[in-house]
Chains A and B, each alone.
Chain A
């Protein structure tokens, strides 16, 4: 065994229950987050086979994907029924399955409810050095705390429920080092969009990426969660940021985090996890912060990234013929003409939210741009969706909700909302949305919807001007 190890190797080695001759390992899972969409068939599978949940104490269930983000209680304090019968059925299934299998469940009107990837870190359920899974690809998010976190399918959800383990093979390791200092108006979201543009949508396939360098060290936990959240958008199985004092300060005192002497023991262990000097990654990519501008996507893959100062590309200029064809299809779907300045593109919708950008710092960044301003007349629908009830409460205590509503934006209840077109929050066909979410796929925000991925401040700027806008022009 090599004496110098990467953060990924240390976490992996600490979780091997058994290793088979072919290299496949039985890996112990420390934390399992469950939501309503990818779990019903897994619980049904357990029921049919007469199996139980091995470690309900390591499992936490919360609804997020299907929930409407409009008021959940009426003026009499009664639950507002969910109009879509299929959504209602799926939510009811989780509400039934959790107690049946002895799993803690946060209900839709609990202040702790929110998007799984916001709730986990916020509650201190997600911890450095742990293995965390959820039936959702953005589970990579929790890697911002230094956890090995990754999305799994429903069969694997069932496997983890039954055994608290997964049969896995070790991934390759990649270091993405971001050196320098971010310029004004450039946020963690711009960093991760830029990385995705550089690596491509499959650049990280088969790898676990550790994000390092001065820029990552200087980021808050919210920023690190944003970056690791989108590791999957460049194909990586998981993203990691080494835990440090910023991480410990964020976690200390969180409800489910260790307390007292246990806390001290945990911190001592977490400090030992950083990649050793001399440890070797399978691949290293270095990025200079000076090259990162406020960024925006133009196409239908998260790799289609440009600085906001850019112009819509001409597909014929791409070297790869398959890329040319993909770009032509993307531009047709997006209704864009090569050569158009990105800042000339009008938007009719603005979405601030999602597991990528719905934490308090994201809302503060958007509010800083919107304060004292109004949304443009051509922006028909603009919503701000906090990531959890606790984020909502904090934002209201800071008066951010008033800034949003005074500017003409709607202030909503927590959930996945317009990130994925499976609850009532959708972008109409043929219309554009400046969105702080993570995917600009065809139909992602609703059939025919056209998505431009941006940071919270950039989304706020687009709301004000009615066009994709360089946020730096609205900063004092």
Chain B
């Protein structure tokens, strides 16, 4: 994972609530066996509507997306996070995220920033004309108009994002603890190993 500590730039003012992962990337795009190239399929149904924010030249290449409540609900497809990254998006700001999407975003170094609805409303306004600055170190979102919104983030996730930690590598350092657990359980609950032929 590439380290990430800040995101500065324009933001797509999407604003809709319950943006599900079928909207972010429809199932027809899930047949790939690679992680790249999914930006072309991102938000396909929204992009069929003339005047949509994704095809508005004012926002071309914007690294931030602003959305409504429950962003990324539905399917667990990590393709949603890959599609956003492929579209050049490094951060999504919303009042809430689905648990699974939030985890998938984190694993891909994509910031999922939670702010209250009134802050979202203000950022939607700013996004029409100006850039937004997300700083992970200080946990703030700021605008050129002196707006300053603080956000919460799990300390472990923050550490991993800023340092670009390989989480599997990190967990493998606990191999001995995992082995100890396995030994304990196979003694106390031997029936837990399935009879896979």
Contact = CB atoms under 8 A, between A and B. Distances in A.
Interface of A: 17-18, 20, 22, 24, 26, 28, 30-31, 37-38, 40-41, 44, 49, 51, 54-55, 57-58, 60, 65-66, 84, 86-87, 89-90, 93, 104, 124-125, 127, 130, 135-137, 139, 150-156, 158-159, 162-165, 167, 169, 171, 201-202, 205-206, 232, 235, 237, 255-259, 262-263, 265-266, 269, 301, 303, 322-323, 325-326, 329, 420-422, 439, 441-444, 447
A104 B26 CA distance: 30
A307 B170 CA distance: 50
Contact of B23 (A164, A167, A257, A442): A442
B45 A443 contact: yes
Interface residues of B, number: 59
B76 A153 contact: yes
B18 A326 contact: yes
Contacts of A269: 189
A355 B76 CA distance: 15
Given A41-B34, A159-B171, A420 B27 contact: yes
B107 A444 contact: no
A66 to B, nearest CB: 7
A84 B31 contact: yes
Given A153-B100, A326-B17, A443-B26, A104 B197 contact: yes
Contacts of A205: 70, 96, 98-99
A201 to B, nearest CB: 5
A158 B35 CA distance: 13
Interface in B112-142: none
A165 B171 contact: yes
Contact of A151 (B23, B68, B100, B196): B100
Given A135-B76, A167-B171, A153 B104 contact: yes
A55 B194 CA distance: 11
Interface string B133-169: 0000000000000000000001110000000000110
A66 B31 contact: yes
A37 B104 CA distance: 15
A86 B31 contact: yes
Interface in B10-28: 16-18, 20, 22-23, 26-28
A60 B18 CA distance: 32
Nearest to B107: A155
Among B27, B172, B197, chain A packs the most CB atoms within 10 A around the CB of B27
B190 interface: yes
Contact of A263 (B175, B191, B192): B191
A439 B22 contact: yes
A325 B190 CA distance: 55
A162 B168 contact: yes
A259 B193 CA distance: 11
B86 interface: no
10 contacts: A17-B174, A22-B154, A24-B154, A40-B33, A58-B193, A156-B103, A206-B99, A235-B98, A439-B75, A442-B23
B42 to A, nearest CB: 13
Contacts of B193: 57-58
B154 A443 contact: no
A447 B174 contact: no
A421 B77 contact: no
Nearest to B77: A38
B109 to A, nearest CB: 11
A17 B31 contact: no
Given A156-B107, A326-B18, A20 B98 contact: no
